[in-house]
Amino acid sequence: MYDHCGLTDEEISLLPSEEDVRIYSERGWYLSEKLLTDGEADALTEASERYFAGERDRALPSRPDRLADWTPADGDIQRNNDYVHYQDETIGKILRKPIIGAVAARLAQSPEIRVFQATLIYKPPIPDENSNIVSWHFDKYFWPTCSSDHMLTAFIPFHDCTEESGTITMVNGSHHWRNRHGASRPLGDPQDVERAYLLNGDAERNGATVEKVPVHIPKGHMTFHHCLLYHGSGANRSPRPRQAISFHLQDGTNAYRDHTLSDGRQEPYKHDSLVRRTPDGRPDYSDPEFCPVLWPVRATDGQTPVTGE
């Protein structure tokens, strides 16, 4: 039996149904019910503005390689800032809202969900700029040191998110594709990526067709997608910025594994230099400072959500 761990009756009604879980397993993504209040969504916007202005509740103890860390000196391009769940307590508390972890646990069919990483994203309205486009990719490609293939990502916009504003677009069922490219990270316009056979080529190798679904996400709702699902986003053609958090989550089985490149070098994940070590010296992806447990919520966690209302 699924343990609701103190969720209210209203929150229980927001959990994915058995049919929702079946569809998630089939197509690789899920659009949630309204999990955040308008006040919580507005609090994320306000906290992000303070963050972009340079305010931090605590700093990272060191700067890992390949850290996404936009500053005003970078100009009016898409902003990406990693580890906001660690550096900003308002954002961290809202992301630790129990219903988010509970939904992820239901979809991943896992008794435990932990944070893996959280990236703050600000996509300015620049309709014809390639820097404003996120090419087709699947998240697990960037997590080669993770042992689990059941990780997932919650995409959490702070406002209504539509195709005009460059919402996330899913490729239905692509998490089932087993024959995948070994090319370097896809960059540039999605059409260029398709011509390079990173997306369409993978579909062909798997005898599949590419079915793209731009997801309209109302304010307070969020999507969850499987770590092997191809997804991307187009340019923001709306008159306002698209603001969101990409909240990467790990099931309880996930642990560090060595990933050796063809030249014999190890390829670490960016926070391998931040998290504590296991007794045998490996990075510990259950470090409560950087990878806290979201679900189940324990009485000692002190995870009280910020409502902003």
- pLDDT, one tens digit per residue, over 50-71 is 999 999 999 999 999 889 999 9
How would you class 304 by CB atoms within 10 Å of its CB: exposed for 0-12, middle for 13-18, buried for 19 or more? exposed
CA distance 51 to 55: 5
Class of domain 9-295 (CATH, top level): mainly beta
Q: Evaluate whether 199 touches 20 at the Cβ level (below 8 Å).
A: no
Domain-wise residue ranges, the chain = 9-295
Model confidence, pTM: 0.91
**pLDDT at position 301, please?**
47
At 268, the pLDDT band (50, 70, 90 cuts) reads confident
Q: How many CB atoms lie within 10 A of CB 302?
A: 9
Cβ neighbours of residue 7 closer than 8 Å, sequence gap 6 or more = 15, 98, 99, 102
pLDDT above 90 covers a percentage of the chain that reads 75
What does the pLDDT average to over 247-263? 88
